[in-house]
Structure 1
Amino acid sequence: MGLLEGKKALIFGVANDKSIAWATAEAMHREGAEIALAYAGEAVAKRVAPLAEKLDCKLVLPCDVRSDEELSRLFGEIREAWGGLDILVHSVAFANKEELKGSFLNTTREGFQTALDISTYSLIAMAREAAPLMQGRDGSIVAMTYYGAQKVFPSYNVMGVAKAALEATVRYLAEAMGPEGTRVNGVSAGPLRTLASAGIGGFGQIAGHVADKAPLRRNISQEEVGNAVLYLASPLASGVTGEIHFVDCGYNIIGM
């Protein structure tokens, strides 16, 4: 029997087969979970549909996470189909491309609001909708973050601020949802070549530096991150909440 046998998992953020969200979906499916996928919109629908088929995924739902109405509709469909929810994975982040290059001083008010709304507030909005579906089910919420929340990386700019807010949100949600038995954690993944990272200026430089300096002298894989999310969502992590779990080949421990 798999670690997640009989569990229902809703995963936001699958864009293609290089997504961390996709590696997570594969890992959870392997361990017995029934998967629902939520994707950003029609632009990625044609890439998500064939991936969903691989997991025999019946619930493949579009959702603009900036809209409370769309989130309410999506979670209503989850309630109707499943009756409840055990696992929620937040692998959603966005900043305008212009904000991810040059000086942080050039951050615009609109760009700041966009990054924080999509990358951070969406976790609060999802958790609020998920809370009644997770009651009494020892639920688990896992959000994806990055070390740029804690240290400065070239061109990460406003996304670093958004991820810092996300990590604080993980802690506050852990306290807010703990009394009902729901755990909330974050996974801080090392640099990966994904659709999201493609928009970050100097990403190749960051990835090369991490590979040279990390204790394991390499970068991570999507599968390693997916397995870490699996652990946090499983009964193996039943006493873990409010944590930021690093999967970065140890880079975060290095001073120089």
Structure 2
Amino acid sequence: MIDMKGKVAVILGVANKRSIAYAIAEKLAAAGSTLVLCYQSERLRAESEELLESLGQTGTGKAIQLDVSRDEEIDAAFAQIAAAFPVIHTLVHAVAFAPADAIKNDFLLTKRDDFRIAHDVSVYSLIAVARAAAPLMTEGGSVITLTYYGSTKTFPNYNVMGVAKAALEATVRYLAASLGSKNIRVNAISAGPIKTLAARGIGDFTQILDAVTQRAPLHRNVEQVEIGNTALFLASDLASGITGEVTYVDCGFNVTGI
């Protein structure tokens, strides 16, 4: 049993109970972590507080507004976090976005501004929040982000997000090199396709799920709880020698050819 009592985890991207970030939050909370859930805007505040309550964090954890596209909000959020928790141990970055047209249209038609937005929100935000979190990780710690196999192989209707995920994985490696001297580890989990609300924006998503079931060595799709288990491991001391890595949790789909 992994014990995270006395540890503080800051989690970005817990949109609802079906999100991968929520599954990670559940596992960290069950292991004893105190949680800080960051929500994008004021309209999501009540829902985030309800999610915090559902995780058994009322009175211990906090919900804080943080729009990763705004540097002033990142600074303000981590100032609030520092006031409540002088030391944090885990940072989970489960944030990604690209305009709908940049995902559903032919990749050749990607607009400059859509490309910029996808990389700003999905990639640069990891650098920005890691920079803000690092001074609070005085006991070392773990930074975890989420990626997808579309970073290395083309998938229908993934398009610019696949390019952003490739940049995200490179960012993981460079951040690992940058933060290693502070004993801060940086890793990515490459989750297989999961039926989340975010996944609804990907056309023909059911075809991808079916392909995994047919071709993956385990002949099934991965479940949220399995991503949560992997994140808990990477956040714990059991993974103390692992950094700069992309860990596939996709029932083995990535090792297959045809």
> Is the structural similarity TM-score above 0.5?
yes
- Residue of structure 2 equivalent to 1:105: 108
- Residue of structure 2 equivalent to 1:12: 12
Amino acid at match of 2:26: E
Q: Is 1:119 matched with 2:129?
A: no
Q: Is 1:88 matched with 2:91?
A: yes
Gaps (5+ residues) in structure 2? Answer: none
Q: Is 1:63 matched with 2:66?
A: yes
Amino acid at match of 2:22: W
- Residue of structure 2 equivalent to 1:202: 204
- Residue of structure 2 equivalent to 1:240: 242
Shift of 1:11: 0.2
Amino acid at match of 1:148: G
- Conservation of the 8 A alpha-carbon contact between 1:49 and 1:60: yes
Shift of 1:63: 1.2
Alignment RMSD: 1.1
- Conservation of the 8 A alpha-carbon contact between 1:4 and 1:28: yes
Aligned equivalents of 1:102 and 1:110: distance in 2? 14
Q: Which moved more, 1:22-31 or 1:194-203?
A: 194-203
Aligned equivalents of 2:82 and 2:48: distance in 1? 22
- Conservation of the 8 A alpha-carbon contact between 2:12 and 2:92: yes
- Conservation of the 8 A alpha-carbon contact between 2:45 and 2:63: no
Shift of 1:43: 4.2
Percent of pairs identical after alignment? 51
Shift of 1:45: 3.2
Q: Is 1:142 matched with 2:144?
A: yes
2:163 to 161, 164, 174: 161
Which secondary structure state, in structure 2, belongs to the residue aligned with residue 218 of structure 1?
A: coil
- Conservation of the 8 A alpha-carbon contact between 1:177 and 1:183: yes
Which secondary structure state, in structure 1, belongs to the residue aligned with residue 87 of structure 2?
A: coil
Q: Is 1:72 matched with 2:75?
A: yes
Aligned equivalents of 1:190 and 1:44: distance in 2? 27
Amino acid at match of 1:99: A
Aligned equivalents of 1:82 and 1:46: distance in 2? 22
- Residue of structure 2 equivalent to 1:39: 39
Gaps (5+ residues) in structure 1? Answer: none
Amino acid at match of 1:14: V
- Conservation of the 8 A alpha-carbon contact between 1:94 and 1:196: no
Which secondary structure state, in structure 2, belongs to the residue aligned with residue 156 of structure 1?
A: coil
Aligned equivalents of 2:43 and 2:154: distance in 1? 32
Aligned equivalents of 2:111 and 2:228: distance in 1? 33
Task: Map Cα deviations across residues 187-208 of structure 1 (whole Å, 9 max, x no partner).
Answer: 0000011121111111111111
TM-score of the pair, normalised by structure 1: 0.97
Which secondary structure state, in structure 1, belongs to the residue aligned with residue 187 of structure 2?
A: strand
Aligned equivalents of 1:43 and 1:208: distance in 2? 36
Which secondary structure state, in structure 2, belongs to the residue aligned with residue 49 of structure 1?
A: helix
- Conservation of the 8 A alpha-carbon contact between 2:193 and 2:208: yes
Task: Map Cα deviations across residues 66-111 of structure 1 (whole Å, 9 max, x no partner).
Answer: 0110000001111000111100000000011111113110111111
TM-score of the pair, normalised by structure 2: 0.96
Q: Which moved more, 1:101-110 or 1:180-189?
A: 101-110
